[in-house]
Amino acid sequence: MSEEKEESYTGEASFAPLPLHVGSAQIKPIDKGKVKATAYEAMRHHADQQISMLRKQAELLMQQARDIEARVEISRQIYEADMRFVPQVGLSYYLYEHEGNRKLSLIAPGEWGRSKAFDRYIATVRLMADKTWEVLDKSDDL
């Protein structure tokens, strides 16, 4: 028969790989699967939050790009319109259509009285510092 040697720990008790007496701290084996699953779940939750935040930022940027494109388009229409004055930054003006041509005016729709010099009101606009136009009010078909 072969004789088996029992190995015993001879080092400092606080570093023992297993409890040495009844009062020792309890040592439980680690459930590696549970640790990995919990870490993966936390990582996935954090990643989903970051992705959601980036999606919202991307949507905001796309909306801002659409707003700028719309401002550029209305600005193009205004600059192609007939205007008999030099518009000033920050002031409001009125865009009308008359006999198929667009006209920019200083006169609001309610200020014309009975003799309107236009066929259709299009929009109230304000010249911005970057020389684009902001639409303050518009008709449904702008």
Average pLDDT over residues 60-81: 92
Average pLDDT over residues 12-32: 70
In the predicted structure, residue 137 carries a pLDDT above the cut 80: yes
Specify the pLDDT at position 84. Answer: 92
In the predicted structure, residue 57 carries a pLDDT above the cut 90: yes
Distances (CA, A) of 93 to 21, 71, 87, 118, 130: 91, 15, 8, 14, 16
Concatenating the DSSP letter of every residue in 92-124 gives EEEEEEETTEEEEESS-GGGSTTS-S-SEEEEE
pTM recorded for the entire structure: 0.59
| Separation between Cα atoms, residue 105 and residue 24, nearest integer Å | 91
**Which one has a higher pLDDT value, 17 or 137?**
137
